[in-house]
A and B are shown apart, each in its own frame.
Chain A
């Protein structure tokens, strides 16, 4: 994986000192809270319901054992012994003190980590496919391009006070494991008809209160123009994105209001101009970055596991992904134990995952946008030993992509924006479906829960989505069906009137019954919904 050189390190170190100085000026009173807020946000520091929350960037979801281990140590030293992995492949600490923050950033900088631009109206951490560099189905490893964009987007002088936050995702396979088209800019690395590698751009996707799927805005951008084109997209947005209403300020609204074609026309005009400006890094830079992501030294070994232990066999079936080398798989460590808080891990668990990565996965881990952790390169022959250790630590849940593997935002338990709690609902649903044994029957079923319309829990993209709202002072939950964040991207539709907490759990049960009753062949819940439509589900819920 990527290693900082002295320049990268100096940038991060400079940021720590800059933040230390800002915090000093805030504590001395020369910066007001209004002035300090956007500055601390650009360092990932939020003020939540009960305390400061610090969001640490995990660029394109890739980290090494030492970094994971330090994340665990920080959880123990500065927080309450745990952290929360997020839907943008980051980690959040929930109980942080302002006066500790610069020290935490300094601890992070020692292992080439930071919290730069994990919040604020700037270009956020670049996300990517969690199986990048490992999966059998990718064209190339997307991470060198993501790293190039990470550097370009860090402390960008023109794009630090955008109309609103800006999220970029880079993938390089037809299968979309990163919700690429639900980003402000989605980049897919592709090959054109002459066999040349380049970037396909999508723009104007997003969730939040106005979910939109990004349209394609350019079929092919040559690699030596990648940054220039991105810069043109951003400049048009910075100049013309709405600033009169923060709820209409994301690029999706600009693209929607201008229309895709007019946005494209403006970007192309700016792009033609920018090409004359020499803003593109030398192409050798990509060549410099690429070897950091070279394959580790894979060795041939067993290609099958011993399936005599059914619990182990189930975990292998559920939680591993086919690797490009036939003696390896990518193994998913589920952070969704039955009754647990989705995405939470303790300091001890983080250090254990770090140790296992060192032992079994060439020192590398990934964070998934579905709030789980991946060991990307595990020998098939090592799987049983790995699983045994995970099981012993409560990290062996065999539930990837099942209803128990739900995404849930922190909700009203932590978040200052939330209208309703997400975590207890997630806990109760996983307990119920596990107890009834229905999880296994349902197969792939993506449940996503948000505690408010900002949609951090991706409810618009859930096969089943739940949105918590405030209804006359009471928590109320709306149910929606038919969303997908994958390459068949779709937005879920609301079923009808909302439910109480108990009611929505019943409702989830009912819609899954409709599916079990009506499914044909190998259909997933989503396929059945797409075939039969909303009516039978509505009938079961409200009929």
Chain B
């Protein structure tokens, strides 16, 4: 179906969900708030992810853009969205490298569309970097302190 919003420009390389992908491009946070038919939105580093909280029910995809991998605001955005109960696709796009994958996954990202395609083997290893973890996040993993004290 032709969509007024156009086709998604992302090349999704890794996806940890089985539902169908949203096939149109994401709109900006501003237009998402004004426009009721958008089901995909893109967050830039300076956007306040909490602005989206009233609209989470109708969003199937939230893209978090990383124009530069050293700008870590998107990690907080992701966690905030998951903490608020967002269950749709949370996609990291932009300057996403091998060495960011494991932390991004822990913050709630379940899809990755790196600008530069990543080596599959390296990525597989990166996702499995930490057999156990110290911090509790919304990924539901049992933490080392929890394991130590019987879960």
Which residues of A does B touch, CB under 8 Å? 5, 7-8, 10-11, 14, 18, 21-22, 25, 30, 35, 38-39, 121, 151-152, 154-162, 235, 238-239, 243, 273, 277-282, 284-285, 288
Considering residues B98, B100, B125, which has the most beta carbons from chain A within 10 angstroms of its beta carbon?
B98
Which residues on the A side are within 8 Å of B137 (C-beta)?
157-158, 279
- Complex Cα gap A170–B138 (Å): 28
CB of B135 within 8 A of CB of A152, answer yes
B71 touches A7 (CB 8 A): no
Give every chain A residue within 8 A of B135 (Cβ-Cβ): 152, 156-157, 279
Taking a contact as CB atoms under 8 Å apart, the answer to whether A235 and B76 are in contact is yes
- Say whether B136 faces chain A, with CB atoms less than 8 Å apart: yes
Give min CB distance, A440 to chain B, whole Å: 49
Closest residue of chain A to B95 (Cβ to Cβ) is A35
Of the listed residues A21, A160, A162, the one surrounded by the most CB atoms of chain B closer than 10 A to its CB is: A160
Kindly identify which residue among A10, A25, A159, A278 contacts B132, using a CB–CB cutoff of 8 Å. A10
Asked whether, in the complex, the Cβ of B145 is within 8 Å of the Cβ of A14, the reply is no
Are B103 and A157 in contact (CB-based, < 8 A)? yes
Say whether, besides A159-B72, A161-B71, A282-B146, A277 and B83 are in contact (CB < 8 Å). Answer: yes
Cβ of B94 under 8 Å from chain A = no
Known: A5-B148, A38-B70, A273-B83. A155 touches B134 (CB 8 A): yes
B70, B75, B132, B148: the one contacting A157 at CB < 8 Å is B75
Kindly provide the distance from the CB of B58 to the nearest chain A CB, expressed in whole angstroms: 23
Is B133's CB within 8 Å of the partner chain A?
yes
Q: Is B130 an interface residue (CB 8 A)?
A: yes
**When the two chains form their complex, are residues B130 and A281 in contact, meaning their CB atoms are under 8 A apart?**
no
- Flag B134-151 by CB within 8 Å of A: 1 or 0 each: 111110000111111100
Q: Which residues of B contact A284 (CB under 8 A)?
A: 148-149
**Does B120 touch A at the CB level, under 8 Å?**
no
Q: Are A35 and B145 in contact (CB under 8 A)?
A: no
Measured CB to CB, the nearest residue on chain B to A274 is: B83
Q: In the bound complex, what is the Cα–Cα distance between A162 and B83 (angstroms)?
A: 20
Ranked nearest first, the 5 interchain pairs of A and B with the lowest CB-CB distance are: A161-B72, A281-B145, A157-B106, A157-B103, A285-B145
Binding site for A on B (CB under 8 A): 45, 48, 69-73, 75-76, 79, 83, 97-100, 102-104, 106-107, 119, 122, 125, 129-138, 143-149
Question: Complex Cα distance A38/B70, Å?
Answer: 8
B145 cross-chain contacts in A, Cβ below 8 A: 151, 281-282, 285
Of chain B, the residue at the smallest CB distance from A282 is B149
**Bound: A157/B134 CA distance, A:** 10
| Contact (Cβ within 8 A) A18 B119 | no
Known: A10-B132, A279-B135. A39 touches B69 (CB 8 A): no
Question: Chain B's nearest CB lies how many Å from the CB of A177?
Answer: 28
What would 30 A/B residue contacts be, using CB atoms closer than 8 Å?
Answer: A7-B144, A7-B147, A7-B148, A10-B132, A11-B130, A14-B131, A25-B122, A30-B122, A121-B70, A151-B134, A151-B144, A155-B130, A155-B134, A157-B103, A157-B107, A158-B72, A158-B79, A159-B72, A159-B75, A160-B75, A239-B48, A243-B71, A277-B83, A277-B136, A277-B138, A281-B143, A282-B145, A284-B149, A285-B145, A285-B149
Q: Which B residues are in CB contact (< 8 Å) with A235?
A: 76
Please indicate which of the listed interface residues B98, B99, B125 has the most CB atoms of chain A within 10 Å of its own CB: B99
> With the chains together, A160 CA to B130 CA distance in Å?
15
| Known interface pairs A238-B73, A282-B149; 12 further A-B residue pairs with C-beta atoms within 8 A, sorted by A's residue number | A5-B148, A10-B132, A11-B132, A11-B144, A121-B70, A157-B103, A157-B106, A158-B76, A158-B137, A159-B72, A161-B69, A277-B83
Given known A7-B144, A151-B145, A285-B149, contact A239–B73 (CB-CB < 8 A): yes
Tell me whether A158 and B134 are in contact in the complex, defined as CB-CB below 8 angstroms, given that A22-B99, A151-B144 are known contacts.
no
Q: For residue A157, which residues in chain B have a CB less than 8 angstroms away from its CB?
A: 75, 102-104, 106-107, 133, 135, 137
Q: Which residues of A contact B83 (CB under 8 A)?
A: 273, 277
Q: Which residue in chain A gives the minimum CB-CB distance to B146?
A: A282
Q: Which residues of A contact B72 (CB under 8 A)?
A: 121, 158-162, 238
Task: A288 to B103: give the CA distance in the assembly, Å.
Answer: 27
Contacting residues, chain B, for A162 (C-beta < 8 A): 72
- A288 and chain B: residue at smallest CB distance: B148
| Inter-chain contacts of A39 with B (CB < 8 A) | 99
Contact (Cβ within 8 A) B134 A21? no
Interface centre among A155, A238, A239, A282 (most CB of B within 10 A): A239
Which residues does chain B contribute within 8 Å of A279, judged by CB atoms? 135-137
Query: Once bound together, how far apart are the Cα atoms of A21 and B149, in whole Å?
Result: 33
Please determine whether B107 and A35 come into contact, CB atoms closer than 8 angstroms. no
B76:A285 contact, CB within 8 angstroms: no
A273, B71: Cα distance in complex, Å: 24
A235 to B49, CA, bound (A): 13
Q: How far is the CA of A278 from the CA of B135 in the complex (A)?
A: 10
Assess whether B75 is in contact with A161, with CB atoms less than 8 Å apart.
Answer: yes
The answer for the CA separation of A163 and B147 in the assembled complex, in Å, is 32
Q: How far is the CA of A235 from the CA of B147 in the complex (A)?
A: 25
Would A158 and B148 be within 8 Å (CB), given that A30-B119, A281-B143 are in contact?
no
Contact A11 B134 (CB under 8 A): yes
Docked Cα-Cα span, A467 to B75, in Å, equals: 38
B contact residues around A14 at 8 Å (CB): 129-131
Give the complex CA separation of A4 and B67 in angstroms. Answer: 38
Provide the bound-state CA to CA distance between A301 and B22, in Å: 76
Determine the chain A residues whose CB is within 8 A of the CB of B104 once the complex forms: 157
The CA of A18 and the CA of B131, in the complex, are separated in Å by 12
Q: Which of B75, B99, B102, B134 is the most central at the interface, judged by chain A CB atoms within 10 Å of its CB?
A: B134
Chain A's nearest CB lies how many Å from the CB of B84? 9
A120 and chain B: residue at smallest CB distance: B70
Residue of B nearest to A162 (CB): B72
Chain A residue nearest in CB terms to B147: A7
Tell me which residues across on chain B come within 8 A of A121, comparing CB atoms.
Answer: 70, 72
* B residues in contact with A30, CB < 8 Å: 119, 122
Q: When chains A and B are docked, how far (Å) is the Cα of A154 from the Cα of B133?
A: 9
